[in-house]
Homo-oligomer: A and B are copies of this chain.
């Protein structure tokens, strides 16, 4: 029996990356197997190897496609502190849309082009603004720590909504069962509070380190 072979390729690197991202988002890294991915693409697993050498190469492409969503156009115009704030928000938006990928993404840019371009833009903007290199590095790292941590998963949703969990044993948390109901407010509020605090602190430091030079 002849094997049906489509005249037009049904696979492409882009389509594979899109579907892989969707599986990763919906069901986590464990669900992302080559068979499962192929099934959702309407092909069999071995076909994937015509487009990527290994499964890890697929994951790398997923990671870089996520980072490529981060807008970097705010750098190079206007105040560095304003740009840093806007960038942190886009960065968080991109990561928080794919929380299962955050542990992987947080391991750094490696050889991924979009991740390297991101680091280049942030660091470049800080140095251009007058920050000494050692400060620019540490500010960039601290911002990434905060954004990655806030994208790993909801703080508020980590608390059980059963009040009896807290009664007696954890008296200060007696209202924690209500966190789930307003998790968005809590998580967004914590992010914005931390972001504003960090950027305002860096502005104060800037006055001492750069302006006073």
Give the B-binding residues of A (Cβ under 8 A): 102-103, 106-111, 116-117, 119-121, 123-124, 127, 133-134, 137-142, 144-150, 152-160, 165-166, 169-173, 175-176, 179, 186-187, 189-191, 193-194, 196-198, 200-202, 205
Q: How far is the CB of A125 from the nearest CB of chain B, in Å?
A: 9
Q: Do the beta carbons of A173 and B116 come within 8 Å of each other?
A: yes
Give the number of copies in the complex.
2
Instruction: Identify A152's interface contact among B106, B140, B201, CB under 8 A.
Output: B106
Q: List, in ascending order, chain B residues with CB within 8 A of A120's CB.
A: 170-173
Q: Do the beta carbons of B148 and A109 come within 8 Å of each other?
A: no
Q: Which 6 pairs of residues, A with B, have the shortest CB-CB distance?
A: A108-B158, A149-B149, A142-B194, A124-B172, A141-B190, A197-B201
Given contacts A139-B193, A149-B150, A155-B145, is CB(A119)–CB(B173) below 8 Å? yes
Q: List, in ascending order, chain B residues with CB within 8 A of A123's CB.
A: 172-173, 176
Q: Do the beta carbons of A189 and B138 come within 8 Å of each other?
A: yes
Q: Do the beta carbons of B116 and A169 come within 8 Å of each other?
A: yes
Q: Do the beta carbons of B191 and A145 come within 8 Å of each other?
A: yes
* Complex CA distance for A200 and B208, rounded to whole angstroms: 15
* Complex CA distance for A102 and B169, rounded to whole angstroms: 25
Q: Do the beta carbons of B198 and A103 come within 8 Å of each other?
A: no
Q: List, in ascending order, chain B residues with CB within 8 A of A153's CB.
A: 103, 106-108
Q: Do the beta carbons of A197 and B102 come within 8 Å of each other?
A: no
Smallest CB-CB separation from A120: which chain B residue?
B170
Q: List, in ascending order, chain B residues with CB within 8 A of A121's CB.
A: 172
Smallest CB-CB separation from A194: which chain B residue?
B142
Q: List, in ascending order, chain B residues with CB within 8 A of A134's CB.
A: 189
Given contacts A108-B158, A149-B149, A172-B124, is CB(A142)–CB(B103) below 8 Å? no
